[in-house]
Amino acid sequence: MVSSRTELGYDSKIEGEVIVSRRDAIINWVRTNSMWPMPMGLACCAIELMGSGGARFDIARFGAEVMRFSPRQADCMIVAGTVTYKMAPQVRRIYDQMSSPKWVIAMGACASTGGMYRSYATLQGVDRIVPVDVYVSGCPPRPEALLDGLMRLQDKVRHEPAAGKLFTA
Amino acid sequence: MSATVDVTSALQARFPQAAPRASLDHEAVNVPMGDVIAALQYLRDEFAFDVLTDLTAVDWSEAMAPRFTMVYHLFSSTRHVYVRIAADCASDTAPSAPTAIGLWAGANWLEREVFDMFGITFDGHPDQRRILMWDGYPHHPLRKDFPLAGIEAPLPDAEIVAETGMAANPVPLAGGPFVAHSGQINMAEAEPRAKDESWNERRPKPE
Ligand code: SF4
């Protein structure tokens, strides 16, 4: 995280205006705490997703309350619900339209594995069409579980080699 | 109320080929496919069966002829009785039925569902498209010869397929179908479970 080496940060000549850190730390700190989800609410799990945005669970505590309904403004797709084959291309298309870097949370049994829908119409896990970072178990997962998933994703983002990718890619 | 006797005999008086149909609950009548719209209209106008509760079909399996039967459930909101009208489709390979949209506008989506799931086409339907499966899906899932796990089919979007390499695959049923054993006292044992555990994702189903 951000370094607090006092001899530099509080040098009297440049007092309070310079903080020394690593690029990764800064970039990841920013990304971690301003993750804007793309709510891909497809079925009942979406209700729990809405619940986690409400006052009781308050996803805003993690900086992720800014649900963007435009994929270009979102960086974390939360697939909440049953992905059918009819819907799968649209999910993938929205994922493609999100700008990098982007992450995916598969929320609930359906999004993760098809859940109880062992049927011809249901995609057996959204990871067949988009790369998933965090799977949240449950049917439906409680908002706490989603928040836990979000925290795990934040943990992952926090330790990504972000700068290397940023400046070489 | 003697409505039960009324309907069958009235239908038989008007449509000589109509025949009573075995039924465990409400009155049911078999009607030839050619008469079905006229019979439905007769019931709607003369007997106040004003609600089309449901419209569906039965697939009696490939070996049977006639293979497909259309089924209409009517309800009278003033007399509070139900009646079921069944009509066999003439063709087993390209089944069709006349549309009932002229009588009940609500038949539109129901007929699209029957078209999607059974492959029965509706003459005179203004918008014959699939409603549940995606356009271009080659199968009809509620036909008896369609396996529960599905059949591999191409996804509709070529661009996405190029990106993901995905197709609509048969699902691992892991011993399905899953059924709830209702009426069992022990609720823990009454939850949905596979009838047959002899195969799973790793071991294919023995044929
Ligand atoms: S996991 Fe359960 S709650 Fe979530 S979409 Fe599937 S069936 Fe609904």
Rg for chain A (alpha carbons), in Å? 18
Contact B112, B133 (CB under 8 A): no
**What pTM does this model have?**
0.81
A5-14, A160-169, B51-60, B158-167: least confident range? A5-14
pLDDT tens, residue by residue, A34-45: 999 999 999 999
> How many whole angstroms separate alpha carbon B32 and alpha carbon B18?
7
> Looking at residue B175, what is its pLDDT?
61
Tokens of A38: 């793309």
Q: What are phi and psi of A162, to 5 degrees?
A: -70, -45
- Please provide the size of chain A in residues: 169
With 0-12 / 13-18 / 19 or more C-beta atoms within 10 angstroms meaning exposed / middle / buried, residue B128 is: middle
Interface residues of chain A, partner chain B, Cβ below 8 Å? 85-86, 88-89, 92-93, 96, 114, 116, 118-122, 124, 128-129
Mean residue pLDDT of chain A comes to: 87
pLDDT mean over A105-110: 93
> How many whole angstroms separate alpha carbon A50 and alpha carbon B124?
43
pLDDT band for position A3 (cuts 50, 70, 90): low
> How many whole angstroms separate alpha carbon B41 and alpha carbon B26?
19
With 0-12 / 13-18 / 19 or more C-beta atoms within 10 angstroms meaning exposed / middle / buried, residue B192 is: exposed
Higher pLDDT, B79 or A17: B79
Looking at the partner chain, which of B146, B156, B174 has a beta carbon nearest the beta carbon of A89? B156
Kindly tell me if the per-residue pLDDT of A163 is higher than 80: no
Task: Find out whether the beta carbon of A14 lies less than 6 Å from any atom of ligand 1.
Answer: no
pLDDT tens, residue by residue, B88-130: 999 989 999 999 999 999 999 999 999 999 999 999 999 999 9
Looking at the partner chain, which of B141, B178, B192 has a beta carbon nearest the beta carbon of A120? B141
Residue A128: list chain B partners with CB under 8 A: 164, 166
A4-13, A110-119, A138-147, B166-175: least confident range? A4-13
Which residue carries 């509070």 as its tokens? B80
The tens-digit pLDDT sequence of chain B (207 residues) is 444 557 899 999 999 999 999 999 899 999 999 999 999 999 999 999 999 999 999 999 888 889 999 999 999 999 899 999 999 999 989 999 999 999 999 999 999 999 999 999 999 999 999 999 998 899 999 998 888 778 889 988 889 999 888 888 888 776 666 666 666 666 666 555 666 666 666 666 666
Residue A129: list chain B partners with CB under 8 A: 160, 164, 166
> How many whole angstroms separate alpha carbon B72 and alpha carbon B78?
19
> Looking at residue A16, what is its pLDDT?
63
Quote the crossing angle between the two packed helices A45-53 and A143-158, to the nearest 10°.
Answer: 70
Higher pLDDT, B2 or A11: A11
Chains A and B form CB pairs within 8 A to the count of 59
Task: Find out whether the beta carbon of A44 lies less than 6 Å from any atom of ligand 1.
Answer: yes
List the single residue in A with minimal CA-CA distance to B193: A116
Best residue among A47, A50, A110, A137 to mutate for probing ligand 1's pocket (most ligand atoms within 8 Å of CB) is A110
List the single residue in B with minimal CA-CA distance to A131: B164
Task: Find out whether the beta carbon of A114 lies less than 6 Å from any atom of ligand 1.
Answer: no
> How many whole angstroms separate alpha carbon B85 and alpha carbon B35?
11
Pairing of strands B82-88, B68-75: antiparallel
With 0-12 / 13-18 / 19 or more C-beta atoms within 10 angstroms meaning exposed / middle / buried, residue B123 is: exposed
* Ligand 1 center from residue B161 Cα (angstroms): 26
> Looking at residue B141, what is its pLDDT?
92
> Looking at residue B2, what is its pLDDT?
45
Pairing of strands B82-88, B27-30: parallel
Q: Can the peptide bond before residue A101 be classed as cis, meaning omega within 30 degrees of 0?
A: yes
Tell me the three state secondary structure of residue B96: strand
> Looking at residue B204, what is its pLDDT?
67
Q: Given an 8 Å threshold on Cβ–Cβ distance, is B176 in contact with A122? A: no
* Ligand 1 center from residue A110 Cα (angstroms): 5
Tokens of B72: 């209409």
